[in-house]
Structure 1
């Protein structure tokens, strides 16, 4: 005769007892639930060769693919769910690292009716390749840089792949064959990153994070405007940008207006400026402004 539990083991909360003290410790026992008397078992092996796969995951789902139970295979590729799954209709699938997900099988569990289901897993071809991923941020602030270009190249500088970062500054290269690669990041208004070199082996997942410094030119401004003569845009007019230096001024840029009278000075550093346009016969256009 086998002795079986009728009620589950129940424990009190920890307590202390001093000399001459008494304690009233009451416990409420809970009846052991009846056994489900169900069994699902099987084996997971390699599709090529039939060798057992240790550590494969067996997942049981509801008929609507809601995850319910899972277990792992042992060294012989065996798995079992003993008195775990209530009677009913379910779906089950198996997967293992470096192997593709198995087909999803439907099955019904009944009391006192053992059910066996075996799986053959095919090798995942992506396992031969590597992954390079990471995050690009502004070096000074740590703010993620979106739409940053990441170039993956061979040592001979032949580009192999190119991608851009998402709104969180994240990038990802996958399906990369083993080999040596150089990685560089570029972003508008920032200096290019240093070149990072990686040696990629099959199934490697290499993380490369980079910080880009703000380019000095990115801190500059621009000055533009329209030159008119008799209230009409004037083309081919020389325009001069003066930078104020204490009590004096210094010409730092010269431009000519386009057909619509537009002029533009780019890469202007912070400071106070004066814009002048002088006509051959003596007309002068002057505007005082500052770039901050």
Structure 2
């Protein structure tokens, strides 16, 4: 059997009693309207059972509307009080940790519900970010292709591609320590690139670039290489660009697809072209 406060706790004014004096004290109790509520308590832990302090615990309604939150103490404990009865979703996170999957939880009248939430250190939390804005004079350029390369000695290793938004912004995340440069292509502009920039130790580094209009207005050829059966994009596929003149094909550029199977050839003069692609496999 559980108990609850039918009335809110009330108190009298300070009483000064002297000698055999009689003190008549009346107290009027106000009915407790918060009786259809419960309490959620719990602990945020790593998968190895270590408590996580200063983690944020988020409670939402069953349809993901924000309701309330709490912060864990030094031993990973948290308490959410006066929660109306019903069904909720609860999750937890902390800087440098992954966000837990939402857990379904039911709050019952005048009951305490206890739950453990598991979060783990994010292996990418100490990685770096490169971001920036691509502009022409002072106006941002939308839909510019920004390619990222890692510089190792004299070699430039293709790492990925981003397309700028309406504000000219691009972003590359989860980058290992090292030296990087960006190359930018946009129809109607001259190609440009940044100088190599060294990043390390969870740095967020801006690289803004200015594009100059190209009166020749060369084009761009881009697309996705996919498996014909599974329709899944193919990473690291070799993509070759051929020019066609008098029915003769001439190889002019080679690149490889990114993790999403995408490729890009920029600054393409007017003319006829053909794309060819394959994936090379090796056996011992």
Q: Which TM-score applies when normalising by structure 2?
A: 0.57
TM superposition shift of 1:205: 4.8
Aligned to 1:158: 155
Q: 1:195 to 1:33 in 2, by over 3 A?
A: farther
Q: Do structure 1's residue 133 and structure 2's residue 131 form an aligned pair?
A: yes
Match of 2:210 among 199, 209, 212: 212
Q: Distance in 2 between matches of 1:135 and 1:101?
A: 29
Contact 2:128–2:199 under 8 Å retained in 1 = no
**Alignment match, 1:190:** 190
Structure 1 distance, partners of 2:110, 2:179, is: 58
Moved over 4 A (4+): none
Query: Which residue is 2:10 aligned to?
Result: 4
The CA deviation string for residues 151-171 of structure 1, in whole angstroms up to 9 with x for no partner, is 322242433313133244222
2:79 maps to 1:68? no
What are the equivalent positions in structure 2 for 1:1-292 lying under 5 Å apart?
Answer: 3-4=9-10, 34-36=33-35, 38-48=38-48, 50-83=49-82, 85-138=83-136, 140-160=137-157, 161-167=159-165, 168-177=167-176, 179-188=177-186, 189-190=189-190, 192-201=192-201, 204-214=202-212, 218-219=214-215
> CA offset at residue 196 of structure 1?
4.3
CA distance in 2, matches of 1:210, 1:197: 12
Task: Decide whether the 8 Å contact of 2:179 with 2:199 is kept in 1.
Answer: yes
Q: Counterpart of 2:271?
A: none
2:134–2:164 CA contact under 8 A, matched in 1: no
Change over 3 Å in CA distance of 1:220–1:88 after alignment to 2: closer
| Max Rg structure | 1
CA distance in 2 between counterparts of 1:100 and 1:211 reads: 33
CA RMSD of aligned residues (A): 3.2
Relative distance call for 1:63 and 1:162 in structure 2 (3 A) is closer
CA shift digits 1:12-59 (9 cap, x unpaired): xxxxxxxxxxxxxxxxxxx896234521111112213x2221221212
How many residues matched?
191
Shift of 1:213: 4.8
Task: After TM superposition, give the deviation of residue 197 of structure 1 in Å.
Answer: 0.9
User: What is the TM-score normalised by the length of structure 1?
Assistant: 0.56
User: C-alpha deviations, 1:241-263, integer Å up to 9, x for none?
Assistant: xxxxxxxxxxxxxxxxx99xxxx
**1 CA distance for matches of 2:138 and 2:103?**
51
Quick one: distance in 2 between partners of 1:40 and 1:220?
A: 66
Cα displacement (A) at 1:129: 2.9
SS at match of 1:159: strand
